[in-house]
Chain A
Amino acid sequence: MGLARALVLWCPDWPLIAIGVDPAQAAVVVASGRVVACSAAARAAGVRRGQRLRDAQRYCPDVAVHDDDPDGQARAFELVVAAMEEACPRVEVIRPGLAAVPVRGPARYYGGEGAVAATVRDAVLESGFTCAVGVADGTFAADLAARRAWDESCGDDGGQGVRVVPSASTAAFLAPHPVAVLEMPELTDVLVRLGVRTLGDLAALPGRDVLARFGADGEAAHRLAWGRQARAPATRAPGEDLGAEFEFDPPTAQSEPAVFAAKSLADRMHDNLAARGLACTRVEIEAVTADGRSRSRLWRHDGRLSGLAVAERVRWQLNAWRTSGELAAELTFLRLAPDQLVVDTGRQLTLWGRHEVDDAVARVADRLQVMLGHAAVTRPVPSGGRGPAAQVARVPWGDSTEPASQVQRPWPGRVPDPAPSVVHPEPEPVDLLDTTGVAVVVSGRSVVPEPPVRLVLGDGTELDVTGWTGPWPASERWWDARRGRRLARLQVLTDDGRAWLLLVEQGRWSAEAVYA
């Protein structure tokens, strides 16, 4: 079966565009200490997505740092979606910065896919956002086509920001892309080690063997590499309503009760789907207000979102509508409907852990997440590392609690127990001075030639050093030029009875933790 032709519009570096950063200025958007987006200027200086903020600042010291704000991004993207909707109906938001449209109908109307793509691009450009458009079989290939279009338009040959891949050559277009574009890191790591480096290599393998070796994920990847839909479409009896709805009585003006309702609606919808062994590709969010107006928007789901993640999207959407003035009155009705059903190949939201959680605790944690955001409620998970901050990962409630690196592995250079009771999330800069008032030096051979006598905190407090020990040198990831660090730690006692764990890196001292 042929896959529906799709048009994907991609706004590059959306997290930065959404907060109005000039691409010529070096800027990054950071979430939990890692770069999630960087401007063209920062990229030219060597900053990459996924880097730690500290490393990014090393490449580009004057980089402007912004916090990740998914709400704001979704709100700003509503402008882009509105511009797209002027040109074609049924816009589906994959995530802020990326949206798709089924292209078959509009292509007949405008007279060709190229014409649709150009119209959509112009509509978005006119509203003041840079973008690229790709058309291909399915959203996966169309997304890659949009990215290719962007690269071409940045190149010298002056592309138009539009790339149309004909149905017959979708597989050929996909073939040279590396498997990493599948965004299934666990699977692609193994594939690369097996010598399967491109989508073409993957497509060349027999489908049955891929399924036998890699399971449902592998099969989905194989289908994508062929330019097919990731999962086989499911048929169902017409008229069966799998959605879930909620009527607000009295109507509510705040988004919090709506989001809370959305969480239970999403759970109900997932239960409905799970009872029939189905998953949905998209979810439609529909809201009706007291003045009788109704709004709806499609969001990409792919069977991967938890109930809470759906509720988060409902919140983004409601905020976006409110900001644009489309949802002025109080909310009376909210409905979530699954769209485009596929066979659920099985994914457990949680494997271990959740079942042993107290119901009351689970309820309050969910409630707090609705109130403060998904990442605001965390559980500590022991993790491997030398520094005290690296020994614990804070995993958002409801996410899988698997440690990122092994705890039991020996970590040479680790400071012995007992552990400090106050660990700063980011080390705080301090000055550690010797008798001559100069910063204490730790030599390359881990010798401290001049002992420390005075510790000056960030707020100017001066403390006398009554004892010190160390250093514990650590050379982390010396094989990796980007993430490698060389540093040394010192335990220092001060006259106020506190003990400090100090860190020196490139001649600069900072307090990593306090034994309080």
Chain B
Amino acid sequence: MRDPSLEQAEAALADVSDRLDVRRFEESSLPALPALRPVLPGLRRGQVVTVDGVGALALALMAGPSQAGSWCAVVGVPDLGVPAASGMGCDPERMLLIDEPGERWVDVVAALLGAVDVVLVCPPARAPSPVVRRLSALARTSGSCLVVAGAWEGAMARLRVESSLWTGVGQGHGHLRGRRVRVVAEGRGAGGRSRSAWLWLPGPDGSVRPADLVAVDGERTAAGAA
């Protein structure tokens, strides 16, 4: 037997949320690549994630949703390596590139949020607070995920590459085969504490895979990845 007042309260709440049209994106998230899940379970809709520069990590973040059928847009990154992105799983068919938005990058990002699921942006300089607030709010209401290469106040998760080691190249022989990196995630989106994982970013075939380096790095990494 349920408490009638509870039912009443629930009905009132449902009524209010219907009228306000509060879309609850928090419940849905875009899938991250399986290898990235130890540090970032998924890209939550409406959240802002930062990475430490335009590189393999930014592409890997985009690859998960893109693989699952989402459109991605890249703003202000004229030197994006598209073959590397597709090697990680991004679908170039569902990619929009706005290489040189210039001063209008804020308007461009604002227009894209809501239309595409993931927007990767490299701001020309550190974004001023009003811009940060405006775009964060837009991301929240539109349900798109904003990935920023650089600093961003109030980002849900901050990802960075801490140590990286390329393999395959000697002194005048071999060729680059892959890179072992330690990816560290901080912020509320990562569960409030710092998490890290060793990854092949990229592996010999261009894809992202977990690197079995626990033994090499010792207990610290094992604890961090757990």
Contact = CB atoms under 8 A, between A and B. Distances in A.
B71 A358 contact: yes
B56 A421 contact: yes
A360 B115 contact: yes
A470 B108 CA distance: 41
Contact of A372 (B81, B108, B169): B108
Given A371-B107, A419-B84, A513-B81, A497 B163 contact: yes
Given A371-B104, A424-B79, A418 B169 contact: no
B176 A491 contact: yes
Contacts of B84: 418-421
Contacts of A497: 163-166
A417 B203 CA distance: 9
Interface in B132-186: 163-166, 169-179
Contact of B171 (A368, A382, A451, A491): A451
B174 A418 contact: no
A313 B86 CA distance: 36
B65 interface: no
Interface in B66-84: 71, 78-84
Given A367-B111, A376-B101, A515 B59 contact: no
B108 A392 contact: no
Interface stretch (B7-15, B34-42, B89-97, B212-220): B89-97
A102 interface: no
A498 to B, nearest CB: 8
A415 B206 CA distance: 13
B56 A516 contact: yes
A491 to B, nearest CB: 5
Interface residue tally on B, bucketed by range: 35 or more
Which of A353, A388, A467, A499 has its CB near the most chain B CB atoms (within 10 A)? A467
B111 A364 contact: yes
A379 B175 contact: no
Contacts of A415: 175
A382 B86 CA distance: 10
A468 B98 contact: no
Contact of A394 (B97, B164, B175): B97
A448 B204 CA distance: 25
A50 interface: no
A381 B92 contact: yes
Contacts of B114: 360
A74 B82 CA distance: 34
Contact of B174 (A363, A376, A381, A469): A469
A391 interface: yes
A418 B87 contact: yes
Contact of B172 (A371, A448, A516): A448
B202 interface: yes
A376 B99 contact: yes
Given A364-B112, A415-B175, A491-B176, A372 B98 contact: yes
A451 B204 CA distance: 25
Given A422-B54, A491-B176, A368 B108 contact: yes
Contacts of B99: 376, 378, 394, 425
Interface in A377-406: 377-382, 388, 391-392, 394, 397
Contacts of A499: 166, 169, 176, 179
A265 to B, nearest CB: 21
A364 B206 CA distance: 31
B82 A392 contact: yes
A419 B81 contact: yes
Nearest to B170: A467
B40 to A, nearest CB: 18
Contacts of A371: 104, 107-108, 111
Given A363-B115, A372-B108, A467 B169 contact: yes
Given A360-B115, A418-B203, A499-B166, A469 B173 contact: yes
A419 B79 contact: no
A451 B170 CA distance: 12
Contact of A418 (B71, B95, B111, B204): B204
B115 A425 contact: no
A416 interface: yes
Contacts of B87: 417-419
7 contacts: A376-B101, A377-B97, A380-B92, A388-B81, A425-B78, A493-B169, A516-B55
Q: Which 5 A-B pairs have the closest CB atoms?
A: A516-B55, A419-B83, A364-B115, A419-B84, A392-B82
Interface of A: 353, 358, 360-361, 363-365, 367-368, 371-372, 376-382, 388, 391-392, 394, 397, 415-425, 448, 451, 467-470, 491, 493, 497, 499, 513, 515-516
Given A360-B114, A394-B97, A516-B54, 12 more contacts: A372-B98, A378-B99, A418-B84, A421-B81, A421-B84, A423-B79, A448-B172, A467-B171, A469-B169, A493-B166, A515-B176, A516-B56
